[in-house]
Amino acid sequence: MISVVIPTLNAEAGLAATLDRLRAGTQGLIEEIIVSDGGSTDATVEIAHRANCRVVRGPPGRGEQLGFGARQAEGRWLLFLHADTCLGAGWEDAATEFMRRTTTGRRAAVFTFKLDDSATSALVLERIVALRGRALGLPYGDQGLLVSRGFYDEIGGFRPLPIMEDVDFVRRIGRTRLETLAVPAVTSAVRYRRNGYLPRMARNATCLLLYFIGVPPKSIARIYG
């Protein structure tokens, strides 16, 4: 029923845990897992093969990889997930219930943003993301995205953008057609710990602002780092 699409580029650090969580207790819910690799030189592809994933390879760039993976998918529903994001307990039931309720298929769902860090800064960021989602309908890409194949194709799928591909796509979905499921998508906080929470959050906010005022994504990608 669900094709999972995971874009990767040297993602060996978190991929195995993400795949293990997907495989646990799905009871036929997942039809296939497609790892769309952008040229990894570490053990990413080997990890994917060991987990019996389909590996497809193409040019690097998350938007390009997501779109390429989706074109190979055979499921009626698509679940886009980052390689360092593990879905929390109960995600299968939440996803199944959402799909059952979405009779027209013209809605999409994301999970609740959470970091694998109990620091106060992490909790603050989680609340900011929740507020942004409720007010603007702009979830992060690492909240996962569950969407029917028909609706995905109807609104044009992921565009081959080097950055902001998630914002571009959810804006076409629209806030009123996007639901946040009460199950966490737990993402690695390594980038925030390495760069510092405040500098990383400020950089992310700057990139988002630049996108909204029309700066080309290729230029934004150089700032994002």
Assess contact for 79 and 90: CB atoms under 8 A.
Answer: no
Please indicate, yes or no, whether the overall pTM of this predicted structure exceeds 0.85. yes
Q: How far apart are CA 127 and CA 11, in angstroms?
A: 27
2-194: in CATH 3.90.550.10 = yes
Give yes or no for residue 223 having a pLDDT over 90. no
Cα–Cα nearest to 3, from 37, 33, 36: 33
Cα–Cα nearest to 55, from 76, 74, 69: 69
Q: Tokens at residue 23, please?
A: 């495989």
Please report the pLDDT score of residue 25 as a whole number: 60
Q: How far apart are CA 200 and CA 225, in angstroms?
A: 10
Give yes or no for residue 20 having a pLDDT over 70. yes
Assess contact for 53 and 33: CB atoms under 8 A.
Answer: yes
Cβ count within 10 A of residue 97: 12
Please report the pLDDT score of residue 48 as a whole number: 97
For 13-81, give the DSSP string.
Answer: HHHHHHHHHHHTT-TT-EEEEEEEES---SSHHHHHHHTT-EEEE--S-HHHHHHHHHHH--SSEEEE-
pLDDT digits (tens, 9 = 90+) for 127-164: 999 999 988 889 989 999 999 999 999 999 999 999 99
Give yes or no for residue 194 having a pLDDT over 70. yes
Mean pLDDT of the chain: 94
Please report the pLDDT score of residue 224 as a whole number: 86
Average pLDDT, integer, range 98-113: 93
Give yes or no for residue 186 having a pLDDT over 90. yes
pLDDT digits (tens, 9 = 90+) for 24-76: 766 689 999 999 999 999 999 999 999 999 999 999 999 999 999 999 999 99
Please report the pLDDT score of residue 58 as a whole number: 92
